[in-house]
Amino acid sequence: SFTHFAVMANVEVESTWFWDWDAKLAAKSQAHADFQKLMRNFIDTEILPHIADWEEAGDYPEDLTAKAYAAGIYAHGLPKEYGGTGDVMDAWSRFIFNDELGRVCAGG
């Protein structure tokens, strides 16, 4: 199990975080909880309802990038002078970002 691995690696973790992280992991800080909610809402409303059609077509709508940018997801963590949000993208934020995107299960 993951808990066994964590003990072997001398790492202290909650035994449930790996598979059931929504309630506890995102709440590591309020900023992380807010970012996870932002990502989940965008994925649930703008991507998941359409992903099967986009996969079939092999493309996605041009306005998706603009929607992601307006939502604060596209370029999250990049400096404002380069068109980013200017928000801090620490390791926890990157985990949340990738985990939420992984829920889409798209081939690309």
pLDDT in tens, 70-82: 998 888 888 999 9
Q: Taking a C-beta distance cutoff of 8 angstroms, is the pair 46, 39 a contact? A: no
Q: Bin 88: left if φ > 0, else alpha if -120 < ψ < 50, else beta.
A: beta
pTM of the predicted protein model: 0.71
pLDDT in tens, 9-21: 444 444 433 445 5
- Of residues 98, 106, 105, the one with CA closest to residue 39: 98
Per-residue confidence (pLDDT) for residue 65, from 0 to 100: 92
pLDDT at 3 > cutoff 90: no
Angstrom distance (rounded) from CA 10 to CA 5: 9
Per-residue confidence (pLDDT) for residue 19, from 0 to 100: 41
34 CB-near residues (< 8 Å, 6+ apart) = none
pLDDT at 96 > cutoff 80: yes
